[in-house]
Structure 1
Amino acid sequence: MPLRAKRAAALGKVVAGHAVRSAITTAMKPVSADVAARRDADILRFADDLVAVAGSMKGAAQKLGQLLSVVDVGITSTSARDEFTARLAPLFDNAPRIPDETMHGALERELGELRARIVSLDSGAIASASIGQVYRGQLDDGRMVAVKIQYPDIASKVRADLKNLQLVTKLAAKKMPASNTQAIVAEVQRQMIKEVDYRAELAHHQRIFDAFQGHPAWRIPEPIAQLCTEHVLVTEYLDGMAFDGLAEQDQPVRNLVGEAIYRFYCGEMYRTGFFCADPHPGNIMLLPDGRVGFVDFGLCMDMDYEDAEVQRKVFRALLSGDDDQAFELAVAAGFLADPEAMERSAATEYIRAVSSWHLGDGILRMTPDIARRSVADAVLPSSRFYDGIRNQRLVETHAMARRTEMCVAALLGRLGAEAPWSAIAREYLGMADTATPMGQAIESWAQQR
């Protein structure tokens, strides 16, 4: 049996098994404490099964693991939620490593004579990217670089594995009806096909690097375009504290990191419509100079002007308290596929509930529970808005934008970062002056460019 067929069959068993267990627990409503515990156990078993089957799907598995670990899939207890995330970790934290000699050989073949410019390459990969491994090296001019080398023959494997994700998508769509999971996964599929060609990532990276050179709050590593090919990406090496270590830092440090994360991923999304759609802990670090380092720009979105503008208008209306206008804009933009399924007041209450963490005035300290409530209100059957949202589908153009916001909320919750989030949003929407010292520093930097 071909490899893809074997994986498809195995994934089918996982999905079918979880579907049966879900049907049994659903039929036993109302949900008692015992039933809730059994449901949690079922979902944890599903995580184990999925890791066992999908672990060999390098890039596809990583993206799937990142998506499921952020979105609350119906687990009731905090300890079980944490356990679910931990059990999914092998999908993206412990990707199988290819031997150095194999990867170094791929580098030699890809760069040819230019390989001589990399005078040293450390043994052992410092990270596993979605479709490759990253090594630290040094150029002939003394600069330290990160060398991302694509796994040999990964393109054909990714294309096959991405088809199998549809089996998991069907299950996720039942659990998260309003999230338009199929559209999100379809976008991830398209983006991963692009990621197989590192030249597309280089174009994203170069655009972001050019936009933020000398930025006071964050730093983008310089791409070394002369050494980049379809299968190799070489960039400046950034050495900093990993995101997972930031939880132990003092509150002011966590606040600054959190504000930089919000401004980079969400602020730029509203300001320009071009944004990195992969706010993952592995892509964020705190640098010695106090700035935040951002890496990995394979998954980026470039919204057209109309889509970007309607996002801004809806957010402005919500921040201004004009719920009627927000509703009309949401309907006109197709955010609500079936507006008759929700009363106007319920629809705007739903939108506010999902986005409440960056709509309210004043300083808010983010927590994991705030992030989970936002996701739960948005997509889960447990949502009080479920009857109205079950027939809604988020327009595909905006699916990744909403996912990005949810992922940012989750990151801020892990940090326990606090800031005037709505005031910062008003900055980027042109509704108010700068709200924080970081905003003032960014404004000054922009004026001097």
Structure 2
Amino acid sequence: MTAETITAADTRINARWLIPVEPFGVVLEHQAVILQGSRILAIVPQAEADQSYRTRETLDLNQHVVLPGLINLHGHTAMSLFRGLADDLPLMTWLNDHIWPAEGKFVSEQFVADGTRLAMAEMLRTGTTTFSDMYFFPEVTAQAAHDTGMRAQICFPLMDMPTVWGSGPEEYLRKGADLIEQWQRDDYIMPAIGPHAPYTVSDGPLGAAVELAQQTGAAIQLHLHETAFEVAEAVKASGQRPLARMADLGVLGANTQCVHMTQIDESDLAHLKMTSAHVVHCPESNLKLASGFCPVQKLLDHDINVTIGTDGAASNNDLDLFGELKTAAMVAKAVAGDAAALSAHKALEMATLSGARALGRDQDIGSLVAGKLADLIAVDLSDPYLQPVYDPASHLVYSNHGRAVSHSWIHGVPQLQDGRLTRIDVPDLVLRVNEWRKQILS
């Protein structure tokens, strides 16, 4: 073996099991993932890596499964500071009587900065490497994610009413256009447009959002068909289902992410399929707020891209995407009346490659393929509650919880090492969070 045949690289990760997501349904054993800079250089059997690669660092994960980092496609990160504040209430009561008043009183730039760091610490600790946020002061969230080195879609909020972030639609759109201009060429941040919901945004601002999306290529994410009440009220007022209204206004398209979608009829399926819009499933939030059940398998059967999100910690109450996957798979089977609905591998794809497709980033992230960005995680399957291991994919969806995540890399940079966060000062963060708790309780 000559020196010319040996390739130098940064990091070698020896994995007991590897789930690349592409190709679908595959579990590989005793593979080496070779990282060079921000990208995956190669994935080869360990014996081949011994002969072909020399790396500055080698990590032996002999009881772990390595897979792409998870993509949490919907949340309100700063609302982690409201975790458990107003539980066991229906959606509109929860919003109108508790959450919106609390936001009016407490939300500020510092609130968003601290709440975002709290959320990122939880997400990184449980396997998420990319998240989508829709909340006030999106410029603060974008900066916090960028400083931490976490990949994020940042949706600026848009609604008819004034909030702590602006006086109304014109100001939101102006600030949002500035956000897009600042971040749209960044490696980590994907700026996007976040109309809150059809019942809080009128036709004019929605039309302006569509125009901004067409001009900039920014995605649109909105809450849609979250409850039967929302749909019934829209039909009563206008004779039209909210999704049909969005289609008429041009809101639906291949760049559109429809969050919740618990109420779906045949006309809704036709609109989603025709426009290539994506659905973001938030099963635990939907269960907690008794919002309804998204018919995931029916959507998949119609070739509609379904992704997954936790929603905010105020309505979940955690940001553990592995837990969300288990709930999604269980609920999908019950709704479909079919134990084969939403298999473990399909659920994992929903949290990785499907999310990347919705972001328009499937050429870069969402699967472990040579040439893609090095966004990946390792999950330790050595604990007694995960033994014996017959099928790692099954364990990740049905037996695992996010605390078994031991390592993660984003853009090739270690974010979690042996369960310890590398880029977030946890003791300082806890002190800040406790100060907010005292203020909110008072």
Greater share of helix = 1
Q: Same fold (TM over 0.5)?
A: no
TM-score band by shorter chain is under 0.3
Q: TM-score, normalised by structure 2?
A: 0.24
